[in-house]
A and B are shown apart, each in its own frame.
Chain A
Amino acid sequence: MTDAAHWRDIKVHLLVRYEALVDLLDAIQLLDDIEQISKRIASQWKYFANATNWRLVLPASADFLVIDGSRGTAQVSLVTSLDAWDARNWQQQLPQRSLLPLTDDHGLLPPDHLLLPNSKEIMVLPFARDGICIGLLSMSAHQLPFNDLDMKFIPLMGRQFASRVADILLRQQATQALMERATRDSLTGLFNRGTILERLSSQLALARRTQQALSVILLDIDHFKVVNDTYGHAAGDDVLREIARRLLNAARDGDHVGRYGGEEFLIVLYPCNQAKALCAAERFRQGVAESSMFINAAPPPGLQITISLGVASAEDFPQIGAADLIDHADHALYTSKATGRNCVTAFIATN
């Protein structure tokens, strides 16, 4: 009688289990969004395993992606450091099974959602690919301890899940890296010439549509050639990096800072009128000039580096194009150079 009942039990499960399994495998392959995949898993997993409360931890660059499943749904979060219990398990990377309540775990407790009143057992499963741990799954058994079928289905689905999320993360990282490579200047980390010009064009178009002013600052390092000739190109590179850092420091949200040429930088400010742009330019000038730069080759007290700046605004030239705007800023920059350097000049139209 017990055998017949057990057999019937399995049969009744089967249809629901297989449907859920197929649905999940489908979703895992077809969906591209980690949160959507996680939510589907959280909702369907209960139909083929004792898997209602779980946590999946995966490495994500320097951080960790933590996916928590409970109450039929999932939450995804990025954390810089793991909880003590997760950290210990991540470090050990060993499978574990322990009945609840936990006896001695050196005071480390699993996350709250794994410790429900009716939780009977905790399982930890690491998943490896090519010898590297790609994910760690912690799961608690609800109402009954894990049975044989659970121990078949949970590792199977867990591995598929972890693998897929790891692949998506990898693709996201690769895309990000490619984007950076394509849009950033490798030495300074600022936008490269092509990208800053593109930004200027799109922001100008936006400015025209919204009828809000846009301004640009073109700036140039004073006597840069002397630095290179005196201390070498490596020192020159250090100076460029330091200037970029100081410019970014002085920049506000929404300012776009780019490396325009060898020693020239272009900053796009929007929305920003001429008066505000002049203030901003002064801020940048001061940010560079106020303290000396310590670079390897130069003796103390370091190098005193200054920049000259030209400011131009589209405020009085509503239909102006990018090239002409930069030209205005260039004229103003020339004036700054001619009047002693380490200063800011605004373009004024002379008709």
Chain B
Amino acid sequence: MQRYLIVEYQDAEPATREVYEDFMRTTGTTLVPLWLKTLGHSAALARAYWERAKGTLFHGNLPLPLKEMIVFVVSAKNGARYCSACHAQAVLSLDKTLQFCDLQDFLKSDAGRSLPPYYQSVVDFATKVVADANAVGDDDFVLLMNDGFSREEICEIIAVIDMATMFNVYTSSLRIDLDPEYQAIL
């Protein structure tokens, strides 16, 4: 059973179209992803979800590849089929020498041999937060700070983790199908 309804651009209300257009303008793509189209019935919700993604991913001090890596890892940990496929795509498009199998290996072995040290500490931190946000200790923060992350940057890291989780819950409970250009990694 398809649990969601899709509102295509041509059928959308003006307010919804505005959100679709802002998405395309910001990301530079010509296609609106399925997750956004499933929110097309409510311009307010579509805008709310998009603004959360936009403010988190496209602003701030952290480099985009790092943020995409966080979203990818968190989504994989949360078993989110849609998000992990989407952000695997994002990570791959940011680095042409990485291949799909590299990401699969990365998830399986949990080893960050091909990543800079600070990536690893951020990924470890994200894994802990996802497992149990209440269990994150001061020493976990100190580890990140010693790697050169300021409090503001750690706050941004948490915002990325949290945003990923939000989308994971949304897309998983609705069992949103993958967009044609995504390849399932889970």
Judge whether A11 and B97 touch: CB under 8 Å.
yes
Task: Decide: B95 and A118 in contact? CB cutoff 8 A.
Answer: no
Interface residues of B in 114-172 (CB under 8 A from A): 114-118, 145-153
Q: What residue in chain B is nearest A6 (Cβ atoms)?
A: B114
Contact present for B65 and A71 (CB under 8 Å): no
Closest Cβ of chain B: how far from A215's Cβ, in Å? 50
* Interface contacts beyond A53-B148, A143-B117: sample of 16 additional A-B pairs, CB < 8 Å, sorted by A: A5-B113, A5-B114, A9-B113, A11-B98, A12-B65, A15-B95, A19-B63, A42-B150, A43-B61, A46-B148, A47-B63, A51-B148, A71-B148, A72-B145, A72-B153, A144-B117
| A116 to B, closest residue via Cβ | B146
A-B contact pairs, 30 of them (CB 8 A): A5-B114, A8-B102, A9-B114, A11-B97, A12-B98, A12-B114, A12-B116, A15-B95, A16-B63, A16-B66, A16-B116, A20-B63, A43-B61, A43-B150, A46-B118, A46-B147, A47-B118, A52-B148, A70-B148, A71-B146, A71-B148, A71-B150, A71-B151, A72-B149, A72-B152, A72-B153, A73-B150, A117-B146, A142-B117, A144-B117
Chain A positions within 8 Å of B146 at CB level: 52, 71, 116-118, 142
A12–B95 CB distance below 8 A: yes
Query: At the interface, yes or no: B94 with Cβ under 8 Å from chain A?
Result: yes
Tell me how far the C-beta of B50 lies from the nearest C-beta in chain A, rounded to whole angstroms. 24
**Least Cβ–Cβ distance between B116 and chain A, in angstroms:** 6
The answer to whether B94 and A15 touch across the interface, beta carbons within 8 angstroms, is yes
| Assembly CA distance A118 to B147 (angstroms) | 10
Known: A15-B65, A19-B63. A45 touches B148 (CB 8 A): yes
List B contacts of A44 (CB < 8 A).
Answer: 61
Task: State in angstroms the CA–CA spacing of A11 and B115 once bound together.
Answer: 10
What residues of chain A lie closer than 8 Å to B113, measured between beta carbons?
5, 9
Residue of B63, B66, B94, B150 touching A72 (CB-CB under 8 A):
B150
Among all A-B residue pairs, the 9 with the closest Cβ atoms: A72-B150, A52-B148, A46-B148, A71-B145, A11-B97, A73-B150, A16-B63, A72-B149, A8-B114
Q: In the assembly, what is the distance between CA of A16 and CA of B68, in Å? A: 12
In contact, A142 and B147 (Cβ under 8 angstroms): yes
Residues in A lying within 8 Å of B, measured CB to CB: 5, 7-9, 11-13, 15-16, 19-20, 42-47, 51-53, 70-73, 116-118, 142-144
Per the bound structure, the CA–CA distance linking A196 and B94 in Å amounts to: 63
User: Is A52 a contact of B147 with CB atoms below 8 Å?
Assistant: yes
* Contact between B149 and A8, CB atoms less than 8 A apart: no
With a cutoff of 8 Å between Cβ atoms, the chain A residues found around residue B151 in the complex are 71-72
Q: Which residue of A lies closest to B95 (CB)?
A: A12
Docked pose: A5 CA to B112 CA in angstroms: 11
CB distance from A126 to the nearest CB of B (A): 23
Q: Shortest CB–CB separation between residue B8 and chain A, in angstroms?
A: 34
A8 closest partner in B (C-beta): B114
Question: Whose C-beta in chain B lies nearest to the C-beta of A11?
Answer: B97
Which residues in B have their C-beta under 8 angstroms from that of A16? Answer: 63, 65-66, 116
CB proximity to A under 8 Å, residues B49-89: 61, 63, 65-66
Nearest-Cβ distance from residue B147 to partner chain A, whole angstroms? 6
Q: Could you say which residues of chain B place their CB within 8 Å of the CB of A47?
A: 63, 118
Name the residue among B146, B149, B150 with the largest chain A CB count within 10 angstroms: B146
Instruction: List the A side residues contacting B97 at CB < 8 Å.
Output: 7-8, 11-12
Residue in chain A with minimal CB distance to B116: A13
Residues of chain A within 8 A (CB-CB) of B102 are: 8
B145 CB to closest chain A CB, in angstroms?
Answer: 4
CA distance A110 to B56 in the complex (A): 38
**Whole-angstrom distance between the alpha carbons of A70 and B151 in the complex?**
11
Assembled-state Cα–Cα distance A131/B102 (Å): 50
Residues of B close to A20: CB separation below 8 A? 63
CB distance from A97 to the nearest CB of B (A): 20
